[in-house]
Amino acid sequence: MSFMLVAGKIFRCAECQKTVQVDYEGGPLETQIGDMAVSRQLEYSEHFGQPSADPYEEGFYLYDLGACQECYEKLVSADDKERYAQIFDLISKVETERGQADEAISLMADDAIGSVTLSLTLQDISKAIGASVYGTLGDKHRAATKMRRMITGFVQDHSNQIEAYILEKTFAEDPIKQILDQYRDETLQPISLLLSLLNITQGKSFQKKHTNAVENLNDYIIASTMVRYPVDDAIDEVFYYPVEYDVPNLKQYLELKACNSGISVRSQFGKKQIGEIMEKLVMSA
Ligand SMILES: [Zn+2]
């Protein structure tokens, strides 16, 4: 079960063991934190203890292990501190740009994909699958019912390639191309600076959290049952958390491309539509 009766949070410095306890508004409430998180938190509880004698009744305090401000100052050189702060700023700058571009693209995705699919030809499909359509489908003069069956099989085998092709083509045409060009102009410098900083730190960085900040307690999903608000008079201190970036992956993610755009073509454009397009193209050929 991924729910836990959560009353608050205990930030704990892994270096000096200093703790900051924060109560959540509403007191102990069933909060969805994810299966993995529940088992991890129960282990922490076992290890570090809980403020109340009966957390199953009075609510658990989730442990959050980082480095307190003082230890962070001691642990990290001035140069690295500067780099980590820059890395953090650059990532949020590029992510903001990416978010805006993604949103703008998704608003016009339906129309753009629609016009690309309308203009598809059998040559396009051949390009998409890297082979001749008729070479794959066989004799184009066979009976219609048999041909439909062949097309169904063809779509089963090739819909992913065709989807990817349509998406690439959509990204290469205005107005989406304009948005992408602008995104690339805006992010070219920040991304290259970010990558050179990450090179120096070997992908390592730190993120900081304020102890009184609102938090989504489930890393993977966002919903009201996972977001908890610290009480108004919660202590505000900063804790630091090491993060390690997989630099090639991050680079690929930040270079907004059709294949990683976050537009779920599958939701609006699937095998059914590809089947219809194929029938239209083949039967009218
Ligand atoms: Zn400390």
For residue 132, how far is its CA from the centre of ligand 1 (angstroms)?
Answer: 65
Cβ pair 99, 259 in contact under 8 A = no
Q: Please write the tens of the pLDDT for every residue from 83-138.
A: 999 999 999 999 999 989 988 888 888 888 888 888 999 899 999 999 888 777 77
Q: Please write the tens of the pLDDT for every residue from 174-212.
A: 888 999 999 999 999 999 999 999 999 999 999 899 999
For residue 48, how far is its CA from the centre of ligand 1 (angstroms)?
Answer: 16
Q: Please write the tens of the pLDDT for every residue from 227-256.
A: 889 999 999 999 999 999 999 999 988 988
* Cis amide leading into 175 (omega within 30): yes
Confidence of residue 142 (pLDDT cuts 50, 70, 90): confident
For residue 71, how far is its CA from the centre of ligand 1 (angstroms)?
Answer: 4
266 pLDDT exceeds 50?
Answer: no
264 pLDDT exceeds 70?
Answer: no
What SS3 state is found at 19?
Answer: strand
User: Cβ neighbours of residue 262 under 8 Å, at least 6 residues apart?
Assistant: 102, 106
For residue 66, how far is its CA from the centre of ligand 1 (angstroms)?
Answer: 8
User: d(Cα 113, Cα 237) in Å, to the nearest integer?
Assistant: 48
For residue 75, how far is its CA from the centre of ligand 1 (angstroms)?
Answer: 10
Give the number of C-alpha atoms closer than 13 A to the C-alpha of residue 161, restricted to the C-beta side: 14
Q: Which residues make up the environment of ion ligand 1, defined by Cβ < 5 Å? A: 13, 15-16, 18, 68, 71
For residue 15, how far is its CA from the centre of ligand 1 (angstroms)?
Answer: 5
Tell me how many degrees the CA angle 210-215-221 measures, rounded to the nearest 5.
145
User: d(Cα 55, Cα 184) in Å, to the nearest integer?
Assistant: 51
**What's the whole-number average pLDDT of the chain?**
88
